[in-house]
Structure 1
Amino acid sequence: MSAEYAVETINLWRIYKDKDREVVALRDVNIKVKKGELFGILGPNGAGKTTLIRILTTLLLPTKGDAFVHGYNVKTEDHKIRSIINLVSGGEYGGYGLLRVEENLWMFAQFYGISTSEAKRRIKELAEKIGFENKLKDFVRNLSLGERQKMNIIRGFLTDPLVIFLDEPTLGLDVPTAKTIRNFIKSWLKESSDRTVLLTTHYMLEAEELCDRIAIIDKGRIVAIGSVEELRKMARNYVSAMIEFYGTSPPAGIPGVKGMDLKEISPKHYKGKIVGEEENDVIEFLEAIIKSGGKLKYFELQKPSLEDVFISLVGRGLENEE
């Protein structure tokens, strides 16, 4: 453990008991997030992202291993951690519907001992930054999903935390609202070198746009960590292709095909991407389609991308759950 890191986990596990079986949510997770960094956890739904966030925000204890925030142990120094962090989750309702937005935010400020005058100043300032000042007098029950998430963003940043945990903060939002929130996150981080953001997402473009470094997680295990550029370099070892075919199911058992992100748009009609170690592996995949009676509608080789790294490591795309 080192106080130089904003967040550090060491051989972290979380195992749930489910009737007669054990479910491993996190498996030997090791990450080090530098102070001042915007660090992303990228993975599909159910990969363990939210479990990791819950442990780091002291809402859940690990089964074994250790986790630290600014050098404080989540198991024994949770009270010290809670005073320097905050959490915003995508899709959370939050607040009391009978109160107005500014009343809800003022109430949350009181929980942290912020004076009324300072709370009002911060609420006004944050609302202006995300274009929400005209909604402060509205009742929470009347807010749309995007408006409610803007309120949650203000609540999370209202305490000016040293570390903010953002768990899928743009989940389900329209493009303009998501863009506003992403721009705010970037500007907030630049205002002080003491601030750190740990972001979980299953949106590839969001991770690429925001994060200094990214950890790819699948089935509770970290499978890669690096900057966007470092992860992109891994993609140069693969060949990817966009493909559309019908009349048969996707071929299986081709060793050189590392993964696929195919959607069945109608019965036995598939469209998406495959990633292989070499061009010959992709050709073998095409030949297998034709041999099984399928028809090829579209095929195009593509330049390697961060998405290809993800598919090659986990065997499927971000939107494909097992």
Structure 2
Amino acid sequence: MPAPLFESSFLQETLQASASSPRSVTLSNGVQMSLLQKGVLKISPPCEAKQTRHIVISSAVHGNETAPIEMVDDLASQIASESIIPGHHLLLIIAHPNAILAEERFVETNLNRLFGDADYPQSQELTLAVSLKEQVTSFWQGVPIASRWHLDMHCSIRASKHYTFAISPQSTYPTRQKEFIDFMRKAGIEAVLLSEEPSSTFSWFSSSKFGAQAATLELGQVAKFGHNDMHKLAKFNRAFLELVESAEFSTDGDMITYQVDSSIYRQNMDFEFYFDKALPNFSRFTKGEELGKDGEKVLTMPVEQGGIVFPNPDVELNQRAALIVKSCATRYVDNQLTVLD
């Protein structure tokens, strides 16, 4: 047996204070595992096939969202022990070790708002974002667009009427292919939000810049390590591991589709929502109902029976404080999930 890549685990290596030294190991089954930098692990399958994908699987973009971190760490361990033989190229990411150690979403600023093209102020999160963008760019260099996938796994701050849901970011590429949507159905993703607004999230970077089948996956609610209800995520985890092992997916399971109608951005220090802080995601309001205020401006629901997702009055100025969504009907056009007019 070759020497192990980690003394304990991918996660424990990532959380060590010292910088991780790049190194590689080839397992007895032909799988190659390469630690590229702290928190970034590249895995190559023992053989190529026509359907071989290049899949980015990221976690800890917010440090206190622990269920995805546990899944990524467990996957790395199962591959290292040869319990799983991946059928695809994988880039496993545990993005923000300092935030994990602090048990916070971030340390200086929200990492998942730094993947756009803006000139962001310097912060440790910006350094991470630049590094992660470089790693993803290198991973997909010369790779056909059709084989690029990105699962950016998160947990919601608050409870939700849909325990699992996904945000499909805006892209000029066809990034809502039936095969990708079928994976989410199989994985028990209860709802998908279709956004047509340019963003600066990690999944938006992958979909808009590389044409990857990409989504932000919200998997339950924030909890400390060891306190996640993994039974509720069992269906997702099964499909997730099947995907890694190269399974194909047929349509299975119901999934509600929403269209993102608009976003609320915080413009003033005097900003608040009027509803309870524990209000679940996807709670609905009637058109014109007051939601809160931003300075002297009263915020109202712009659509009939619109839902509110990710409401957070404490975001930094000029950052998104909530999404407004509405149910929509869809169909496939040229294999791409499309909203019906």
Normalization by structure 1: what TM-score?
Answer: 0.31
Structure number with higher helix proportion: 1
Which structure has more relative contact order (CA 8 Å, sep 6+)? It is 1
